[in-house]
Amino acid sequence: MKTGKISLQKAAFSLLLALFLVTSFSHPTMAQSKQSLSTQITNNDQSIIFTKLNEKVWVHTSFNEWNGTIYDHNGLIVLTSKGAVLIDTAWDSGGDYQKTEELLRMIKKHFKQKVHLAIVTHAHDDSIGGIQALLNQGIDVHSTKLTAKLAKEYGYPSPRPTLDKKPLLKVGDTVVETYYPGEGHSPDNITVWLPQHKILFGGCLIKSLDATDLGNTADANIQQWGPSVRKVIKKYPQVKTVIPGHESWGDKKLLFHTLYLIKQHQQNQP
């Protein structure tokens, strides 16, 4: 009975995922932001998608169900002379980290690199859910002290809390800068800046232009979210590409759209 139930759940998830993908890639904004299919790599069931930003930086996208709806989540793969830097795990949950295992297999297969180190941008399952798969392969996983603390509280292994003291990482020929602007989507959300590429990974702090609301605000600090985004805008005026935690990416308009959604949310509160 248990096996049958799991099979039905997987079948239902696969159907929902197929519908999500058909809808998403017919959406003009998604099509423009994620470019053409020739710049994408997928596994057989399209549960993991890599999208090329340039020769060294790719977005990894995975999927999960939340409140009965399938959503995507973005992370980054940064190819360096020392190996790949992984920003966020695949969206695993419930102690199942098969998606992140598949993500690691795909990185090794398509880029001929192992993951040198990983960064977790906050302690929600869409960013940290597959951490055990990384640790099982001996991958060094970094976070802030707060994310490491929250990870333990949420039942995940703690990453190494190094980023407060050493937010700037030099990995081979590549510079990776992490930044904690303050609370927002979560108490611990950080951004990741790639100065050589002018790419900002905003994670769940930043909303896509597709977003019409703030999404999951269970752990959000609405009052501080706006000031935190403004700090990011001020710190990275030269940004060219902004990757949100969910949905389509684009330019710095995403930062200002996030501010608009925060203001709209505040105005709608009683």
- Which residues are CB-contacts of 252 (< 8 A; sequence separation ≥ 6)? 233, 239, 242
| H/E stretch holding 98 | helix 98-111
pLDDT at 28: 38
The DSSP annotation for 110-124 comes to: HH---EEEEE--SSS
**Residue tagged active-site, from 72, 88, 125, 126:** 126
Domain coordinates of the chain in residue numbers?
2-28+40-268
Q: Specify whether 189 is catalytic.
A: no
Catalytic residue among 73, 142, 185, 257: 185
CATH class of residue range 2-28+40-268: alpha beta
pLDDT the model gives residue 11: 44
Q: Is 185 a catalytic residue?
A: yes
Q: What is the pTM of this model?
A: 0.88
**The predicted structure's pLDDT at residue 12:** 46
Catalytic residue among 43, 164, 210, 216: 216
pLDDT at 38: 54
Of residues 160, 143, 4, 156, the one with CA closest to residue 95: 156
216 assigned to active site = yes
Q: For residues 242 and 202, is the Cβ–Cβ distance under 8 A?
A: yes
**From the candidates 60, 116, 124, 257, which is the catalytic residue?**
124
- Residue 265 catalytic? no
DSSP 8-state assignment for residue 208: -
Over residues 130-183, the pLDDT tens digits come to 999 999 999 999 999 999 999 999 999 999 999 999 999 999 999 999 999 999
d(CA 247, CA 56): 21
Distance of CA 18 to the CA centre of its chain: 21
pLDDT under 50: residue ranges of the chain: 1-13, 15, 19-20, 22-23, 25-37
Count of CB atoms within 10 A of residue 63's CB? 22
Whether the CA torsion 12, 13, 18, 24 is positive or negative: it is positive
Torsion of Cα atoms, 242 then 247 then 253 then 258, to 10°: -110
Please name the residues in contact with 92: beta carbons below 8 A apart, sequence gap of 6 or more. 64, 98, 99, 100, 125, 129, 130, 133
The rounded mean pLDDT for the chain is: 90
d(CA 92, CA 157): 14
Q: Which of 60, 73, 116, 122 is catalytic?
A: 122
C-alpha span between 223 and 35 (Å, rounded):
35
Interatomic CA distance for residues 34 and 91, integer angstroms: 19
Residue 152 has a pLDDT of 97
